Amino acid sequence: MRSPFLFSGIYAIVEPQRRDPLAFAHALFEGGVRVVQVRAKNGLDPLLVRSLVRLARGYKGIVIVNDDLDVALEADGVHLGQEDAAALDLVAIRTRLGRRTIGLSCGTPAQARAVDTRIVDYLGVGPLFATRSKSDAGGAIGVSGAHAVIAATTLPCVAIGGIDRSNLVRARESGARMAAMISALADVAEPRAIASELTDLWGA
Ligand code: TZP
Ligand code: MG
C-alpha cells in the first residue's frame, strides 16, 4: 500500500534488544513518528509485532517488519535487503502480502532502476553516513550518492545510515521523503522529545 500521507517524516527502526520495544515505540509515536520498523537479528516475536500494530493504530501509524515474511503478515509490511530480494521471488511475496507495504534497500542507481515499481512500494537508500548499527551496511554514499539513487526511481525513498540531528537537514537535500534512524532515537534519554524535534526539523 503506497500511502503518500505515511511516507513523510521520521522512519524509526526499533531493535528490541536495545530498548523495551513497546515503551520505546509508544514514545516515538507520541513524538510524531508514524512509521516504525521492527528489526531483530535473533527472530521477531509475532505477539510483540501484534502489540506494536495495535499501538500504532492509535496514532494512524504503521509497523514494518525487517526480513521476516511470516511475521510481516501480522504487520503492515516488510523491509528487505538486496540479498533477501535476490534470493526471493518478489512477485510471490506481493501475492502473499496482499496490499501490505514492501520496502527494498538500494545503494546504487542501478539497483534502484532494477526495482519493479509495480511490486515494491518504497526504497531504503544508504548508508548516507557512517553507521555503527549495521556491520555489513557498506561504505557511506553521502548525500550526493543518495540523490543519484533517488533520481533513478519514481518510488518514495527513505534515507538511512548515520542520520542524526546534526545532519538531518543535509540528509533532506538528497530528496528522500523520510529519514530512517536507529541510534539517534534509541541512544537518548528522552526518545519522545528527540522524535518530536527531528520530526519538526524534517518538515512535511
Ligand atoms: N541499513 C543501512 S544503514 C542501517 C541499516 C539498517 C543502520 C542505520 O542505523 P543508524 O544507527 O541510524 O546509523
Ligand atoms: Mg534483510
Tens of pLDDT, residue by residue over 77-94, are 999 999 988 899 999 999
Work out which ligand 1 atom sits closest to the CA atom of 126. 2
121 domain residue, yes or no = yes
pTM here? 0.96
85 domain residue, yes or no = yes
Q: What are phi and psi of 193, to 5 degrees?
A: -65, -40
Rounded-to-integer distance, Cα 108 and Cα 67, Å: 20
Rounded-to-integer distance, Cα 172 and Cα 35, Å: 17
> Which position has the grid cell 505477539?
47
Residue nearest to atom 8 of ligand 1 (CA): 161
3 domain residue, yes or no = no
> Which position has the grid cell 527513505?
158
List, for residues 130-142, the tens digit of each pLDDT value: 999 999 999 999 9
Which residues have C-beta within 8 Å of that of residue 152, sequence separation ≥ 6? Answer: 109, 110, 112, 113
User: Which CATH number characterizes residue 132's domain?
Assistant: 3.20.20.70
Nearest to 47 by CA among 65, 29, 32, 61: 65
Query: Cell numbers of 92, please?
Result: 510471490
- Domains contained in the chain, number: 1
Ligand 1: centre distance to CA 142 (Å): 13
4 domain residue, yes or no = no
Could you report the average pLDDT of every consecutive run of 10 residues in the chain (204 residues)? 70 96 98 97 94 97 96 97 92 96 97 96 97 93 98 97 98 97 97 98 88
17 domain residue, yes or no = yes
1 domain residue, yes or no = no
Query: Cell numbers of 57, please?
Result: 493504530
Rounded (to 5) percent helix, strand, coil in the chain: 35, 20, 45
2 domain residue, yes or no = no
Ligand 2: centre distance to CA 79 (Å): 7
Work out which ligand 1 atom sits closest to the CA atom of 186. 11
